């Protein structure tokens, strides 16, 4: 499944991962492997910071997005009848979506080889410590160190990525399950953060190397049970830095629910036309 980020040859090994050209990548104490070469980093610590990751982890532990994860699992099961699957979450964060999908698919009788990648080393470290049934790597979704045509189910949840790279790693009958914020997602928070909040744009209906098979919109109310859950939601959003201390305090004290809005899309690989 994995390939060398330097020469693109397959990686293998019980200890350090190695390719036939001798490139070697150590397995960390917590089990993940760093496949993001320093020359491909755009900053010293790319990706989400520890505070945002911790907030997201706490929020997911309260099952704030449970209806979304249930819908993701049902869509994947309907498109993938095979009993043996290889699944990759490209932009896995702290691993919640990957772990949930693996558990639900296995409950339905499927055998799942699960893996996650993220550009944030902190996120991958947390994921690797929490979820021992999956392999995690530090890697960019714009240059996935994954062998071509090796993935049955590819997850892309609120994460950027290169279309051609994502299409390359999919098997012929595989699917990319993409989740993006819908127009009204967390609008109550945006109205506090911005003077003139804008709706999220609907994702495009065309992507390089992929064809759209299904799209639906999912909305639901999130019951913010306590101050800790509200603060976690505030701190995990990309506009968290817009809030003043006074605004944060007011949100925690007064907000008891918020509307979630998502666009779920199922993409399949465009067949190659013989020359």
Q: What is the pLDDT along the chain (275 residues), one digit of tens a residue?
A: 999 999 999 999 888 999 999 999 999 999 999 999 876 555 556 667 888 899 999 999 999 999 999 999 999 999 998 889 999 999 999 999 999 999 999 999 999 999 999 999 999 999 999 999 999 999 999 999 999 999 999 999 999 999 999 999 999 999 999 999 999 999 999 999 888 999 999 999 999 999 999 999 999 999 998 999 999 999 998 888 888 899 989 998 999 999 999 999 999 998 765 55
CA-to-CA distance for 87 and 34, rounded, in angstroms? 19
pLDDT of amino acid 13: 80
Backbone angles phi, psi at 48, to 5 degrees: -65, 150
SS3 235: helix
Q: Both tokens of residue 214? A: 């299904």
* pLDDT of the residue at 274: 55
Spatial contact of 215 and 268, defined as CB atoms under 8 Å apart: no
Torsion over CA: 18, 23, 26, 32 (sign): negative
* Angstrom distance (rounded) from CA 173 to CA 110: 16
């Amino acid at each position: 499944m994995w390939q060398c980020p330097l020469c693109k040859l397959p990686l293998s090994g019980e200890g350090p991962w190695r390719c036939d050209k001798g490139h070697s990548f150590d397995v960390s104490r917590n089990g993940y492997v760093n496949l993001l070469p320093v020359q491909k980093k755009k900053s010293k610590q790319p990706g989400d910071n520890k505070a945002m990751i911790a907030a997201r982890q706490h929020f997911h532990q309260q099952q704030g997005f449970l209806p979304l994860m249930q819908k993701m699992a049902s869509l994947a099961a309907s498109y993938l009848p095979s009993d043996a699957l290889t699944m990759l979450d490209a932009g896995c964060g702290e691993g919640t979506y990957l772990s949930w999908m693996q558990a639900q698919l296995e409950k339905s009788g499927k055998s799942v080889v699960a893996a996650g990648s993220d550009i944030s080393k902190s996120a991958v470290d947390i994921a690797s410590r929490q979820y021992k049934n999956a392999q995690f790597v530090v890697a960019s979704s714009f240059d996935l160190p994954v062998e071509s045509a090796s993935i049955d189910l590819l997850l892309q949840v609120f994460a950027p990525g290169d279309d051609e790279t994502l299409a390359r790693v999919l098997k012929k009958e595989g699917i990319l399950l993409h989740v993006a914020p819908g127009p009204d997602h967390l609008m109550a928070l945006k109205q506090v953060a911005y003077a003139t909040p804008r709706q999220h744009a609907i994702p495009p209906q065309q992507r390089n190397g992929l064809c759209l098979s299904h799209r639906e919109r999912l909305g639901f109310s999130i019951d913010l049970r306590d101050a800790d859950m509200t603060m976690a939601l505030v701190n995990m959003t990309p506009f968290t830095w817009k809030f003043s201390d006074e605004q944060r305090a007011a949100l925690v004290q007064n907000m008891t629910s918020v509307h979630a809005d998502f666009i779920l899309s199922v993409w399949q690989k465009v067949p190659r036309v013989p020359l």
